[in-house]
Structure 1
Amino acid sequence: MSTPNATPFTVTVDIVDERIARLTFGHPTRRNALSAALLRELDAQLVDLATRRIPVVILGSGVGQDVWSAGHDLGELVHDRDPIAHGKPLEQVLRRVRAYPGVVIAMVSGSAWGGAVDLAMSCDLVVADDSARFTMTPATIGLPYTMSGLLRFFNNMPIHVLKEMFFSAQPLDAARAERFGVINRLVDADKLEATALELARAIASKAPLAIRAVKEQLRILEDLQPMPVQAMEQIAELRRQACESADFSEGLIAFSERRPAAFGGR
């Protein structure tokens, strides 16, 4: 798939058997960046697979590449200062994955950045090879993350590891990710696809309605995080200030010029 006047991307579906599908995305000229158009196509394919009642989906961008996904296409931030807000294409896909009426397995080879880490974390299981790296980059460009996004990390890793990732933008390598439970299966690259398929077949052989019910219960339990209205308003104001700040503009310019940003806290 591609859009006019845009770099080409692909989103393909391969039905392995009647219970397993492989959903593969690619954007080679942009390091598999998650552009809005690519995300909308991912969302449409997930809707279609749900309609077809495919119990297990393996989501990935290939094996043996340096970058699994560079995250949100930062070139689009010139026109959209808050690409991770509710209702935006990335957030819509993350919600779709979490609500998918079956199991979604992330198959990760290479580094994942920013929103791509959130995409992997939103999947039910993660299978990865030794090249996998997970780097949360919002602070590098001055983008504040959302409460719902942070909650996904909060539910999946120790709080001090979460803070290290978001404060330093340093990568979490595959070994540490497995240690903290972010990765379910860590294997050599030549065994990655077979391992993901083996796990998918094990799940697909079980009762799909029972698995669907358990997944939905767990999703609801994860989302049970009551918050006072005052706290929500305070967070919304902090995010607004950051999104409208000179620091965010400087972060985007520095990224495009491939230099360190000079943040001033304003």
Structure 2
Amino acid sequence: MNTPETSSFTVTVDIVDERIAQLTFSHPTRRNALSADLLRTLDARLVELAAWRIPVVIVGSGMGQDVWSAGHDLGELAHDRDPIAYGKPLEQLLRRVRAYPGVVIAMVSGSVWGGAVDLTMSCDLVVADGSARFAMTPANIGLPYTTSGLLRFFNNLPIHVLKEMFFCAQPLDAQRAERFGVINRLVDSEKLEATALELARGIAGKAPLAIQAVKEQLRILEDLQPMPVQAMEQIAELRRQACESADFSEGLAAFSARRPPVFDGK
């Protein structure tokens, strides 16, 4: 089922059999960037797949490209300076993936940037080839990441690797990503889809209600992160200051002009 919501991107659902679906997004003119409309479309397709009671979903981007996804479409930041806040399309999709009543597998070939890394981390399993790289780049433009987003990384990565990713904004290559558990299966490119389908078929043959119950328990346990109100208010204020800063404006201007930003901490 093709759903060309706009002329610039497509989201395709292929039912492999009654138990497995492949959900593929493509935004070639923007390096598979996650625009708000594309995110909403992915979210809507997951709602449909849940209603159809599909127990395993494989999420991937258009194959044969060097970039799996460039992350959130930065062109939209001129109108929304905090696109990763609660209630925005990216966060809504990530919650949908984590709460999907079945297993969601990310199939990754090429580099993954920013919010798209969060998307792969929100999936239950990741199958990737050697070209996969994961880079968290908000610091390049001055965008402060959310507490909920950081917790997803905090629960899945050693703290010093997490800090390296967010402080340095340098890609984590496929070998290191596998070592730290970000990737479940690292395979040659020609075996990528077959491996993802083999994994999906193995899961689809298990009792779906049992898997659904375990996934939901793990989601609840991961979300058990009590935080004092004062700390939440402090974090919210720090994010507000960063989002309204001159540095953020400079980061966006530098990105648009394809030049290095000059930050002064204001």
Same fold (TM over 0.5): yes
Give aligned-pair identity as a percent.
85
In structure 1, how many angstroms separate the alpha carbons of the residues matched to 2:96 and 2:59?
13
Q: Does 1:71 align with 2:71?
A: yes
In structure 1, how many angstroms separate the alpha carbons of the residues matched to 2:46 and 2:234?
34
* 2:31 alignment partner in structure 1: 31
* 1:223 alignment partner in structure 2: 223
Q: Does 1:149 align with 2:143?
A: no
In structure 2, how many angstroms separate the alpha carbons of the residues matched to 1:8 and 1:152?
30
Q: Does 1:112 align with 2:112?
A: yes
| 8 Å contact kept, 1:141–1:255 | yes
* 1:90 alignment partner in structure 2: 90
* 1:257 alignment partner in structure 2: 257
* 1:211 alignment partner in structure 2: 211
Normalising to structure 2: TM-score of the pair? 0.98
Q: Does 1:172 align with 2:183?
A: no
* Aligned-partner residue type, residue 56 of structure 1: V
* 1:15 alignment partner in structure 2: 15
Number of matched residues?
264
Write the mapping of 1:239-258 to structure 2, written as runs, cut at 5 A.
Answer: 239-258=239-258
| 8 Å contact kept, 1:64–1:189 | no
* Aligned-partner residue type, residue 237 of structure 2: E
Structure 2: stretches of 5+ with no match in the other structure? none
In structure 2, how many angstroms separate the alpha carbons of the residues matched to 1:131 and 1:77?
28
* Aligned-partner residue type, residue 104 of structure 1: V
In structure 2, how many angstroms separate the alpha carbons of the residues matched to 1:187 and 1:93?
27
- 3-state SS in 1 of match to 2:226: coil
> Shift of the alpha carbon at 1:64?
3.1
Q: Does 1:187 align with 2:187?
A: yes
User: CA-atom RMSD, angstroms?
Assistant: 0.8
* Aligned-partner residue type, residue 28 of structure 1: P
* 2:232 alignment partner in structure 1: 232
| 8 Å contact kept, 1:67–1:110 | yes
> Shift of the alpha carbon at 1:62?
3.2
- 3-state SS in 2 of match to 1:199: helix
> Shift of the alpha carbon at 1:63?
3.0
* 1:163 alignment partner in structure 2: 163
| 8 Å contact kept, 1:61–1:68 | yes
Write the mapping of 1:104-143 to structure 2, written as runs, cut at 5 A.
Answer: 104-143=104-143
In structure 2, how many angstroms separate the alpha carbons of the residues matched to 1:156 and 1:171?
16
- 3-state SS in 1 of match to 2:118: helix
Structure 1: stretches of 5+ with no match in the other structure? none
In structure 2, how many angstroms separate the alpha carbons of the residues matched to 1:132 and 1:185?
12
- 3-state SS in 2 of match to 1:261: coil
* Aligned-partner residue type, residue 123 of structure 1: C
* Aligned-partner residue type, residue 137 of structure 2: T
Of the structure 1 ranges 60-69 and 24-33, higher mean CA displacement relative to structure 2 is found in: 60-69
In structure 2, how many angstroms separate the alpha carbons of the residues matched to 1:171 and 1:64?
20
* 1:99 alignment partner in structure 2: 99
